């Protein structure tokens, strides 16, 4: 380690340091500067790019086919993946089918189906949605859940964007 102060370093002649003091501190502070630039630049980039990733997610998946989902019993529900997001498929007692995004519009927790109370419930902050329309009925959610179109086929259920 070359801990000596500047004047003593000059005293020792004929010893070529691997890297000059100046170059070293330049590298060091370029490094610090780059850390700062990255720490500020990354959030700013992500902030500006948000709609892009959102849009490409939306474009990527338009419909999913759920094999054997047509065997889902009446009065019950199942979760599925719609692209990157969870979705929920409900088979109501009167034989109607409903599917919607299962992401709570409040703080993006996953909602669950509660058959006995006939509601969609978000356990994070107690949001409640209607099981047929996805409308926000109670609690903090600001918007309804996004509903999908459901087509029941002989061996599967196809969920697609409206």
Partner 1 sequence: MSKLMSSLYGWVDERLGLEELVKFAKKKTVPQHQHSFWYYWGGISLFFFIVQSLTGLLLLVYYRPGPDAYESVRQITYEIQFGWLIRSAHAWSANLMVAAVFIHMFSVYFMKAYRYPREFGWWTGMVLLVLCLLFGFSGYLLPMDELSYFATKVGLEIPAALPAVGPWIANLFRGGLEVSEQTVQRFFALHVVLLPMLFIPFLFIHLWLVQKHGNATIPSEMEKPEYLRRSIPFFPNFLMKDLALWLIALNVMSLLASIFPWEIGEPADALKPAPTGIHPEWYYMSAFQMLKVLGNVFPGALGEGLGITIFTLGLILWFFIPLYDGKHENGVKARNATYFGLLALFILIATTAWGYMVL
Partner 2 sequence: MNYPVWDVPVIGSGWVIGIIAIYHTLISQFAVGGGLYLVLVEQKALREGRADWLPRLKQHSKFFLIVTGVFGAVSGVGIWFAIGLANPESTSTLIHNFVFGWAMEWVFFIVELTAAAVYYYTWDRIPRKLHVQVGWLYAIASFCTLVIINGILTFMLTPGDAWIEVAGTGNESSRFWEAFFNPTYFPSLFLRILICISLAGVWALVSYSRIDEHTDKETKAELITWSSKWLIPAFVLMPFFFVWYLFSIPEVNRGLLQLGISTIGSGAFTQVTRISLVMVMTTATIVGVVYFFARKSPQDFSFSHGVAVLMLAFLANASAEYVREMMRKPYSIARHMYSNGIRQASVAKINQDGYLTKSHWTRPATGSETSPDVVLAKGEAMFRGQCLACHTATGYRAINKYLKGREYASIKMLVTTLHEYAEDSPYRKYMPQLAGKEDEIAALVDYLDYSVNKEKSRIAQLMPTHKQEVVELK
Which residues here bind partner 1, judged by CB under 8 A? Answer: 43-44, 46-51, 53, 107-108, 142
Q: Considering the complex, state which of residue 53 and residue 114 has its C-beta at the smaller distance from partner 1.
A: 53
Q: Considering the complex, state which of residue 17 and residue 43 has its C-beta at the smaller distance from partner 1.
A: 43
In 3-state terms, what secondary structure has residue 61? coil
CB of 103 to partner 1, least distance (A): 11
Surface-to-core class of residue 39, CB atoms within 10 Å of its CB (0-12 exposed, 13-18 middle, 19+ buried): exposed
Rounded Cα–Cα distance for residues 121 and 138 (Å):
9
Q: Are strands 119-122 and 112-114 parallel, antiparallel or unpaired?
A: antiparallel
Q: Considering the complex, state which of residue 74 and residue 125 has its C-beta at the smaller distance from partner 1.
A: 125
* Sequence-ordered list of residues with C-beta below 8 angstroms from that of 28, at least 6 positions apart, any chain: none
Q: Which does 52 bind (CB under 5 to 8 A by kind): partner 1, partner 2, none?
A: none
Applying CB under 8 A, among 46, 62, 76, 133 the residue interacting with partner 2 is 46
Q: Which does 29 bind (CB under 5 to 8 A by kind): partner 1, partner 2, none?
A: partner 2
The verdict on 41 binding partner 2 (CB under 8 A) reads no
Pull the structure tokens for residue 2: 């070359």
């Amino acid at each position: 380690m070359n801990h000596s102060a500047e004047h003593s370093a000059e005293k020792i002649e004929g010893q070529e340091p691997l890297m000059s003091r100046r170059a070293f501190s330049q590298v060091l502070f370029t490094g610090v500067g780059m850390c700062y630039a990255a720490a500020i630049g990354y959030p700013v980039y992500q902030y500006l790019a948000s709609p892009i990733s959102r849009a490409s997610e939306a474009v990527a998946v338009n419909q999913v086919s759920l094999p054997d989902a047509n065997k889902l019993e009446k009065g019950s529900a199942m979760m599925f993946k719609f692209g990157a997001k969870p979705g929920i498929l409900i088979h109501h007692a009167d034989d109607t089918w409903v599917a919607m995004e299962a992401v709570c519009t409040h703080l993006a927790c996953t909602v669950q189906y509660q058959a006995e109370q006939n509601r969609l419930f978000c356990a994070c902050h107690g949001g409640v949605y209607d099981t047929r329309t996805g409308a926000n009925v109670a609690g903090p959610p600001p918007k309804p859940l996004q509903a999908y179109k459901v087509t029941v086929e002989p061996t599967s259920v196809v969920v697609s964007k409206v």
